[in-house]
Chains A and B, each alone.
Chain A
Amino acid sequence: MFQKKYSRSEKEPQENATSSLPDIVFMLLFFFMVATVMKENEPLVKISPPEASESKKLEDRSLVRHIFIGPPQNRVLGDQPRLQLNDAFASINDVRPYIEEQRPQMPEVLQEKMIVSLKVDQATQMQMVTDVKQELKKASARKINYASTPGNDRP
């Protein structure tokens, strides 16, 4: 009896049932489609945001434009903090043109509501942030956001 069973399974190759594979793949696909947010800019600078327990979520992403400040990812460029707009390094004088270029891309009614999110590395000195703030003021982009991570000291 045992002998017979053994020999039978030897003879016939096993086939995996693959009928549910498409379901699984689709499920994963849908999940990633829903959960993935497209990254708009590839960061060229390293940013570890400071902690702030009062951090609030920005409701509407379409209103947000980013300015990155931090040490370059590429070590060759040194470790002094640099400014990044869009996908390239920029100087402080580029901030105003950047805002003025971004503004017409938004619907007119929302242009006033533009939020500039400053993604700044926590080790940066304030001088650079202040300069950027002055430029934003001149470009009359007054709504700003200091990007931060929620700490865990909130009771």
Chain B
Amino acid sequence: MIMKRRRKTPTIAAGSMADIAFLLLVFFLVTTTVDTELGLMRLLPFGEDSGVVHERNVLEVLVNADNELLVEDQKITIEELRQLAKTFIQNAEDRADLPLRVEKDIPLLGPIMVSKQVISLQNHGRTSYKTYVAVQNELAAAYHELRDDLSKRYFNQSYDALVSSKAKAKVAAIRAVYPQRISEAEPYTQ
């Protein structure tokens, strides 16, 4: 009698359980964001930099207390900065007021004109961090775009693709043409 009843016990079809589990898995995979560290990497200069740099080789970028952007004492908007920085770094027309260019023999690229550019970024104590980072970002973007152009011209590949494919020699060659030189100057007080 007992045996008979047990055999009749209905069970829920468990075949779809796996599907449900997968749905849950996919849901969590999509919604969970793993906390990744993102940011702009910079190298702080040594204490007192005594190196004398020619004035034409320096692009002075200043963010004042009202979060206004002054490049070589000219007030500009943040959208204009990227193009301005690119023109400065390249000095494609060999202008006398832009950085000096010298021919360098770089492995994989051959002889190429490299400018002696330095970008000096100065801020005020009351500059907002948001603006400061935005300016840093524009400058980084200028370098990035130039490197990207060069990479496409010589290697038919974007710069990001070069970096991610670990083509170290090629990346180094491109970095040698456009080295990122953003100097974070001491802030001014007045």
Interface of A toward B, CB cutoff 8 Å = 8-9, 12, 14-17, 19-21, 23-24, 27-28, 31-32, 35, 37, 39, 49-58, 61, 64, 115, 117, 120-127, 129-130, 133, 136-138, 142-150
Q: Find chain B residues with CB under 8 A from A32 CB.
A: 28
- Is A123 a contact of B123 with CB atoms below 8 Å? no
21 example contacts (A-B, Cβ-Cβ < 8 A) are as follows A15-B9, A20-B21, A23-B21, A31-B29, A32-B28, A37-B35, A58-B39, A61-B37, A115-B41, A120-B129, A125-B126, A125-B129, A129-B129, A130-B187, A142-B43, A142-B44, A143-B43, A144-B44, A146-B42, A147-B38, A147-B39
A35–B5 Cα distance when bound, in Å, is: 47
A115 and B43 alpha carbons, distance in the complex (Å): 10
In the complex, chain B residues whose CB is within 8 Å of the CB of A133: 44, 184
Q: A30 to nearest B CB, angstroms?
A: 9
Which of B85-93, B109-117, B133-141, B170-178 sits within the interface?
B133-141
Interface size on B, residues (CB 8 A): 49
Select the residue from A19, A55, A133 with max chain B CB neighbours within 10 A.
A55
Which B44-89 residues sit within 8 Å CB-CB of chain A? Answer: 44-47
Question: Which of these, A21, A54, A145, contacts B140 with CB under 8 Å?
Answer: A54
C-alpha spacing A134/B41, complex, angstroms: 17
Residues in B23-41 with C-beta less than 8 Å from chain A: 24-25, 28-29, 32, 34-41
> B residues within 8 A CB of A17?
11-14, 17
Task: Scan residues 138-170 of chain B and give those whose CB is less than 8 A from a CB of chain A.
Answer: 140-141, 144
- Tell me which residues across on chain B come within 8 A of A15, comparing CB atoms: 9-11
* B12 cross-chain contacts in A, Cβ below 8 A: 14, 16-17
Q: With CB as the reference atom, state the residue of chain B lying closest to A20.
A: B17
Cβ–Cβ contact A12 & B9, under 8 A: yes
Q: With both chains docked as a complex, state the minimum distance between the C-beta of A11 and any C-beta of chain B, in angstroms.
A: 9
Docked CA distance A58–B29 (Å): 22
Is B125 at the interface (CB under 8 A from chain A)?
yes
Assembly CA distance A19 to B13 (angstroms): 11
Q: Do the beta carbons of B47 and A137 come within 8 Å of each other?
A: yes
List 16 other contacts, CB 8 Å, given A20-B18, A31-B28, A58-B37. Answer: A24-B24, A35-B32, A37-B34, A51-B133, A51-B134, A52-B134, A55-B40, A57-B36, A57-B37, A58-B38, A117-B37, A126-B126, A126-B129, A143-B42, A146-B42, A150-B38
